[in-house]
């Protein structure tokens, strides 16, 4: 496995001293990447019009996605991530028929020169319908959330890039939330997944000490201790989860760059909740709840994605049916203020992403089979359409790889 190098006490002190000096110096902009690739996962078969994972070249000046290629045919790769080494790509297969009634996760080798994908192996995700995948900070483990199975699993990454069988599996148990969201806008008929537990997202904390996972059906964010050496999960010293209002349906979350603030988006309520996060214990404390929809909105909408800009000043929230991106400013205490909204230019935005240059914002519009793009204002976060539409059957997610 990819083991981090040991750091001596002397080396640690030298690095800490250098960091303290660097924090007092003017920031030096990182060199702009000359080559950037984009991988796009899609829904396939009965779930959509895609064929697998697509590869594009990305122009960091115009924001254009060009030279489209089908990099891999694989069933419904609705979430893809690239290994920190840039040698491997991992994708969930959001199905329920792998070796019975389960989903799967597939590993691919990346050709350094062309970006082409070569299959390595596919393993059981330990639950049906895996919807989210992430890697721990060491690159040694892949973590998967199974929506249909209501379970999460930790999969080891071997030196070859292949995935091993799960080293830990947890199945969500307990009470379910109400069918209708407590915090939904007036006139909402948003009903999604409160028939059973539905794990929707999983990710490690910024310090790699904890794993957080949402369960939409139970209206909970679970918190586990994480052993980065073994991949094993453990109960924290406090309550094992934080509860959201019944029926609101926590879907995704995003950490602030400072590692102390967390923002959760609720699918059925279309709300964003700001939490204070304790990096020493993993505990969460809710501080603020805001709507991701405009003031006075009435009707049905489903929130999908939440992102925080690398500078920590802006938060974006995506809305399906309303088909918009809400823009929030983040103040010095972490609280949110709605500053605007932008139409996605497509139907049913399921995921969005900021490119490595922090200039462009991309939206995967599942039902209109297109990815739309926007220029980002670096100060206000306002989005302006580039007028570019990239055709992809049922796009589910996009991720970027800066090469040099």
Beta bridge partners of 57: 37, 66
SS (H, E, C) the chain: CCCCCCCCHHHHHHHHHHHHHHHHCCCCCCCCCCCEEEEEEECEHHHCCECEEEEEEECCCCCCEEEEEEEEECCCCCCEEECCCCCEEEEEEEEEEECCCEEEEEEEEECCCCCCEEEEEEEECCCCCEEEEEECCCCCEEEEEECCCCEEEEEEECCCCCECCCCEEEECCCCCCCCCCCCCCCCCCCCCCCCCCCEEEEEECCCCCEEEEEECCCCEEEEEEECCCCCCEECCCCCCEEECCCCCCEEEEEECCCCCEEEEEECCCCEEEEEEECCCCCCEEEEEEEECCCCCCCCCCEEEEEEECCCCCEEEEEEECCCEEEEEEECCCCCEEEEEEEECCCCCEEEEEECCCCCEEEEEECCCCEEEEEEECCCCCCEEEEEEEEECCCEEEEEEEECC
Is 84 in contact with 70 (CB distance < 8 Å)? no
237, part of any domain: yes
Q: From CA 290, how far away is CA 270, in angstroms rounded?
A: 9
The predicted pLDDT at position 404 comes to 76
The predicted pLDDT at position 7 comes to 36
Q: For residue 132, give the H/E element and its range.
A: strand 130-135
Residues of the chain with pLDDT under 50: 1-28
228, part of any domain: yes
Q: What's the CATH number where 261 sits?
A: 2.130.10.10
84, part of any domain: no
339, part of any domain: yes
Q: Tokens representing 328?
A: 């929030």
Angle (CA) 109 114 119, round 5°? 25
The predicted pLDDT at position 207 comes to 97
252, part of any domain: yes
181, part of any domain: yes
The predicted pLDDT at position 13 comes to 35
Q: Provide the number of structural domains found in the chain.
A: 1
Q: From CA 345, how far away is CA 144, in angstroms rounded?
A: 31
Is 363 in contact with 21 (CB distance < 8 Å)? no
Range of the domain at 267: 172-343
327, part of any domain: yes
pTM of whole model > 0.85? Answer: yes
210, part of any domain: yes
Q: From CA 56, how far away is CA 54, in angstroms rounded?
A: 7
The predicted pLDDT at position 3 comes to 38
The predicted pLDDT at position 26 comes to 43
The predicted pLDDT at position 15 comes to 37
The predicted pLDDT at position 30 comes to 53
pLDDT tens per residue, range 218-267: 999 999 999 999 999 999 989 999 999 999 999 999 999 999 999 999 99
Angle (CA) 54 157 39, round 5°? 15
| Residue whose tokens read 């691919």 | 108
| 46 phi/psi in degrees, rounded to 5 | -70, -20
The predicted pLDDT at position 31 comes to 63
């Amino acid at each position: 496995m990819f083991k981090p190098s040991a750091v001596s006490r002397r080396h640690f002190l030298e690095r800490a001293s250098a960091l303290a000096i660097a924090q007092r110096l003017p920031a030096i902009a990182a060199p702009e990447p000359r080559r950037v690739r984009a991988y796009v996962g899609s829904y396939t078969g009965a779930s959509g019009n895609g064929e697998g994972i697509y590869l594009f070249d990305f122009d960091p000046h115009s924001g254009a996605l060009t030279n489209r290629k089908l990099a891999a045919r694989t069933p419904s790769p609705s979430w893809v991530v690239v290994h920190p080494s840039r040698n491997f790509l991992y994708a969930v297969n959001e199905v329920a028929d792998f070796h019975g009634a389960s989903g799967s996760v597939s590993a691919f080798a990346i050709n350094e020169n062309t970006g082409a994908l070569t299959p390595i192996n596919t393993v059981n995700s330990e639950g049906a319908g895996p919807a989210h995948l992430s890697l721990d900070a060491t690159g040694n483990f892949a973590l998967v959330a199974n929506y249909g199975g209501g379970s999460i699993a930790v999969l080891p990454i071997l030196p070859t890039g292949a995935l091993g069988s799960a080293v830990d599996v947890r199945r969500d148990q307990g009470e379910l939330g109400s069918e209708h969201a407590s915090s939904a806008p007036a006139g909402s008929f948003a009903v999604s997944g409160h028939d059973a537990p539905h794990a929707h997202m999983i990710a490690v904390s910024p310090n790699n000490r904890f794993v957080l996972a949402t369960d939409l059906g139970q209206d909970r964010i679970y918190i586990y201790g994480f052993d980065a050496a073994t991949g094993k999960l453990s109960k924290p010293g406090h309550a094992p989860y934080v509860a959201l209002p019944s029926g609101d349906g926590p879907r995704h979350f995003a950490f602030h760059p400072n590692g102390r603030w967390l923002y959760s988006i609720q699918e059925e309520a279309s709300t964003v909740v700001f939490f204070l996060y304790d990096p020493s214990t993993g505990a969460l404390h809710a501080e603020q709840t805001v709507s991701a929809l405009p003031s006075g909105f009435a009707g049905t909408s489903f929130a999908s994605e939440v992102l925080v800009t690398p500078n920590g000043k802006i938060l974006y929230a995506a809305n399906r049916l309303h088909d918009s991106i809400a823009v929030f400013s983040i103040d010095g205490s972490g609280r949110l203020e709605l500053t605007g909204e932008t139409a996605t230019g497509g139907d049913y935005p399921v995921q969005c992403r900021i490119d490595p240059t922090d200039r462009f914002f991309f939206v995967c519009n599942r039902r209109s089979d297109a990815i739309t793009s926007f220029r980002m204002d670096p100060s206000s976060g306002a989005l302006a359409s580039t007028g570019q539409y990239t055709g992809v059957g049922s796009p589910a997610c996009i991720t970027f790889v800066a090469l040099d």
